Amino acid sequence: MLTLAQLHGQPEIFHSIQGEGVSQGTPCVFLRLAGCNLACSWCDTAYSWNGSAPAVRITPEAAAELVLHYSCRRLVLTGGEPLLQQKTLPSLLRLLPEHAVEMETNGTIMPDAELLERITQFNVSPKLPHSGNDAGRAWKPDILRRLADTEKAWFKFVVACEEDVETILRQASRAGIPAQRILIMPLAATRQELDAMREPTVEWCLRYGLRFSDRLHIAIWGSKKGV
């Protein structure tokens, strides 16, 4: 069984565009898994792990049927932290052989061999101190290095100030993350916050030679869920 977040009384599976990272703007089907091993203070999907909304238990077969309702053949496994359920995910993905699959992960759990082979792209979001997580739990350099070595991983970081960018470059170098695989994006939960943070974030990208990631779902829909 899979445990999914709930949206409008149904498992949270929806069709939208990828809002962040190297695939931003690409049509995808999103499947939001419940549960997380971190607790970011600014998380915009905290309902998927903090107990404020009931989760939904569903079989891989039922989840695959909901995914196949959409003609889009690019799936994003998001959360929460999807790798908490990695033992069950292969049963789902075997039912979706034609789908390219992105996995969103915080980079603290290593995918097993079957998922490493099956996943098309890992969108890794390591958490900085401003997330409110203990550094020992949120930053796993050995796992980040192994993910970087797959050449399937992109690393996207939420930044609030230039000091965050300097921290990213310092810690990423120690973890063997290539700078060309790093994207930075503004810390923002609303359109207004995003508008205020875009320009300085782009300036830091230019200054340090990093790639910028927008947050299109916030820019277009604000804090709306299921987009």
Q: What CATH number labels 2-157?
A: 3.20.20.70
211 pLDDT more than 90: yes
Whole-model pTM?
0.96
Can you tell me the distance from the alpha carbon of 221 to that of 190, in angstroms, rounded to the nearest whole number? Answer: 9
- Is 40 marked within a binding site? yes
Q: Which residue is associated with the tokens 């943070």?
A: 197
36 annotated as a binding-site residue: yes
Q: Is 87 annotated as a binding residue?
A: no
The answer to whether the CB of 38 falls within 8 A of the CB of 26 is no
Per-residue model confidence as pLDDT tens digits over 101-154: 999 999 999 999 999 999 999 999 999 888 888 878 889 999 999 999 999 999
Q: Does 150 count as an annotated binding residue?
A: no
Closest CA to 103 of 84, 129, 130: 84
Tell me the average pLDDT of the chain.
95
The proportion of the chain whose per-residue pLDDT surpasses 90, expressed as a percent, equals 85
78 is in an annotated binding site: yes
* 205 annotated as ligand-binding: no
- Does 125 appear as a known binding residue? yes
6 carries a ligand binding annotation: no
